[in-house]
Amino acid sequence: MSLHPPLRRCWMKRGQRKLIPGAGPSQYLHVFGAYDWASGFVSYTTAIRKNTDSFVTFLEHLLREYPHQKLILVMDNASYHRSATAQAALSLYADRILVLWLPTYSPFLNPIERFWLHLKQFVVANRLHRSLDELYLSLVTFFETQQNRWFHPDRLVFIDNFRLLA
E strands within 17-155? 30-35, 42-47, 71-75, 97-101
Q: Which residue has the higher pLDDT, 127 or 155?
A: 127
d(CA 157, CA 127): 33
The CATH code belonging to domain 30-165 is 3.30.420.10
Model confidence over 8-42: pLDDT tens digits?
A: 545 667 777 777 666 567 788 999 999 887 777 88
d(CA 160, CA 87): 28
Mean pLDDT of the chain: 82
Q: Which residue has the higher pLDDT, 165 or 40?
A: 40
- pTM over cut 0.85: no
Band of residue 156 on the pLDDT scale cut at 50, 70, 90: very low
- The 3-state DSSP composition of the chain as helix, strand, coil percent (nearest 5) reads 40, 15, 45
- Type and span of the H or E element at 142: helix 132-145
Model confidence over 127-145: pLDDT tens digits?
A: 888 888 999 999 999 888 8
Q: What is the mean pLDDT of residues 67-87?
A: 94
